[in-house]
Amino acid sequence: MDGRFPDYRRVLPKNPDKHLEAGCDLLKQAFARAAILSNEKFRGVRLYVSENQLKITANNPEQEEAEEILALPIAVRRWKSASTSVMCWMF
């Protein structure tokens, strides 16, 4: 692939101590919907995790904002730190 990409090793935690499980297709579709209104240059989204839901948000320079909320299949334990990984499983 051509293009410049951020160094994912600097973004993702090296030794995550918390995990979030969700269906890959479900996550992919939610990310795609939220990314429609993300900054065209960076295409970033933000993840907010609470006990029973995952909120995905994105915004752009025009102040438009997208928000996708996914119900999590099992309760997520309250996390003590920000070191998190996202893992998807397939049906």
pLDDT digits (tens, 9 = 90+) for 15-37: 776 667 777 888 889 888 888 88
Give the chain's domains with CATH numbers. Answer: 26-76 (3.10.150.10)
pLDDT in tens, 58-78: 888 888 888 999 887 654 544
pTM reported for the whole predicted model: 0.61
- Between CA 30 and CA 69 the distance in angstroms is 8
